[in-house]
Amino acid sequence: MCRILVIYHSQTGNTEKMAREVARGADAVDGVSATLLSASAAGIEDLLACDGIVIGSPEYFGYMAGMVKDFFDRTYEPARGRREVFRKPYGVFISAGNDGSGALRSIERICLGYPFKKVLEPLVAVGCVDESVLSRCRELGMTIAAGCEAGIY
């Protein structure tokens, strides 16, 4: 069974809605199971066990959420040099009040350090999280899940 880890932080509920739809999309692919965890609950075991990871964050002051940064801080050293992490496929989704570029840039910079492999264009939702955004989230989840399950990534 292929495993996709979806981690996120949310205060207003927008990023959580997006995360749930990413996981829903991943679960829709045969042979794939999605694990949906808040960034504060996710740890190194979750990261090592997954075949692909999708990271979701709101944009705060032009940066990622502190809890998402905390996840990276807690997992980086234990993950460093581990073959289970090297070039692990990843995707990103951002719920932004501005343009999301600062949050995205900070997440992508850290992902290079692991090093993860970017396999999807990021999804940045500016403003309202409506059905159009949620549909794109499901598609993001399905795409990474199908690629991981097929061994493309």
Span 37-89, pLDDT tens digits: 999 999 999 999 999 999 999 999 999 999 999 999 999 999 999 999 999 99
Q: Show me where the domains of the chain are located.
A: 2-150
What local confidence, expressed as pLDDT, does residue 43 receive?
Answer: 98
CATH class of the domain whose range is 2-150: alpha beta
What local confidence, expressed as pLDDT, does residue 146 receive?
Answer: 98
Q: In the structure, what pLDDT confidence band is assigned to residue 26 with cuts at 50, 70 and 90?
A: very high
Instruction: Report the percent of the chain where pLDDT is more than 90.
Output: 99
Q: In the structure, what pLDDT confidence band is assigned to residue 92 with cuts at 50, 70 and 90?
A: very high
Q: In the structure, what pLDDT confidence band is assigned to residue 36 with cuts at 50, 70 and 90?
A: very high
Per-residue tokens: 78: 């234990």
What local confidence, expressed as pLDDT, does residue 112 receive?
Answer: 96
What local confidence, expressed as pLDDT, does residue 10 receive?
Answer: 97
Q: pTM (2 decimals)?
A: 0.97
What local confidence, expressed as pLDDT, does residue 126 receive?
Answer: 96
- For residues 135 and 125, what is the distance between their CA atoms, to the nearest angstrom? 12
